[in-house]
Amino acid sequence: MLFFRLFLLFTLVPVIELAILIKLGAYYGVAPTLFLVVSTGVIGAFLARREGMNAWIRIQKEMLSGRFPGNDIIDGFLILIAGVVLLTPGLLTDILGLLILFPVTRAFFREMIKRKIKKMMQAGQSSLIFFIR
């Protein structure tokens, strides 16, 4: 099952992204389409750097206060994922990456991850490979 999901992720997503880029290029032209892809990448890189630094500072403050920075660690993980997703060319992945970078929408993803981790803990699963399932 994991192999099938990864296969779909690495084949279906790029094909869909390519189809969208071809359609956009045909409708708006090559230059505006390339500008859109490059600009979302640049904006995403700026936001990822800023949000990553903010998460790092929050983690350090929590640790100095003697508290475990659970939410901030998950935020850092999500920001890393957003950066990786933004590196892949395409509009769907850029939209997903940008959604993860904005703190308001990142909270939704963070809560999803926390629910998944709680379910894994209740089931006695200790391997992170089950997290993908």
pLDDT of 129 reads 57
Weakly modelled stretches of the chain, pLDDT under 70: 126-133
Q: Which pLDDT value is given to residue 126? A: 65
For residue 128, the model assigns a pLDDT of 61
> What is the distance between the alpha carbons of residues 75 and 109, in angstroms, rounded to a whole number?
9
pLDDT at 116: 87
Q: Is 110 helix (H, G, I), strand (E, B) or coil?
A: helix
What are the tens digits of pLDDT across the range 14-27?
899 999 999 999 99
Whole-number pLDDT of residue 8: 84
pLDDT of residue 41: 85
In angstroms, the CA 51 to CA 68 distance is: 19
pLDDT (0 to 100) of residue 82: 94
**Contact criterion met (CB below 8 Å) for 39 and 110:** no
Three-state DSSP state, 88 = coil
Contact 79, 55 (CB under 8 A): yes
Domain boundaries, the chain: 34-131
